[in-house]
Amino acid sequence: MLYVITGPPAAGKSSWIRAHAKPTDVVIDLDLMALAMAGPGADHHAHGEVLLRVVHRARQAAIREAEQHLDQVDVYLIHTMPQGKARARYKRLGARIIVVDPGEQIVRQRVRDMRQPAMEAVVTRWYRDHRKGGSRPVTAQASRAW
């Protein structure tokens, strides 16, 4: 089974996966991949342009390979804001979409406390895009299809 975990920055997507995935499952998390590929002492959420380019390519390769094994393992993929093409791909694969959103006030406070100021714009865009679809805050256990 493919689980696509989506939600605004600092919503708790990685925490949701830690609570649900088994050691034998595949987890594709861009932030963890970047941290693994960065030099010692790198910031967990601040990545340079070249590193991000490398990590995005590695992530795409990991997704393509993991898709070939969905009958053998569960795959957990963090995708903060999948656009139409990605959503259609996930639908074809029979993915379960998990939206993790503890609410805008909580997310904004977490971003102020734990992330770079540039993440504020991503939070704003995530909530703007989801309001267009009538989204509402959901718990970490909730799931909805697009």
At 118, which CATH number? Answer: 3.40.50.300
The reply to whether 52 falls in a domain is: yes
What pLDDT, on a 0 to 100 scale, did the predictor assign at position 48?
79
Mean pLDDT of 97-107: 95
The reply to whether 140 falls in a domain is: no
Is the separation of the CB atoms in 11 and 117 below 8 Å? Answer: no
Element holding 98 (H helix, E strand): strand 96-99
- Residues composing the chain: 146
HSE-CB for 114 with a 13 A CA cutoff: 12
- DSSP-assigned beta bridge partners for residue 101: 138
The reply to whether 73 falls in a domain is: yes
The reply to whether 146 falls in a domain is: no
Mean pLDDT of 108-125: 91
Amino acid (one-letter) located at 142: A
The reply to whether 141 falls in a domain is: no
| Residue 135 pLDDT exceeds 90 | no
Which tens digits make up the pLDDT trace of 62-80?
999 999 999 999 999 999 9
Mean pLDDT of 94-101: 95
- Locate 42 and state its tokens: 């790198």
The reply to whether 138 falls in a domain is: no
What pLDDT, on a 0 to 100 scale, did the predictor assign at position 21?
97
pLDDT category of residue 133 using cuts at 50, 70 and 90: low
The reply to whether 9 falls in a domain is: yes
Domain that holds residue 105: 2-132
The reply to whether 142 falls in a domain is: no
Q: How many distinct structural domains can be found in the chain?
A: 1
- Locate 32 and state its tokens: 């963890």
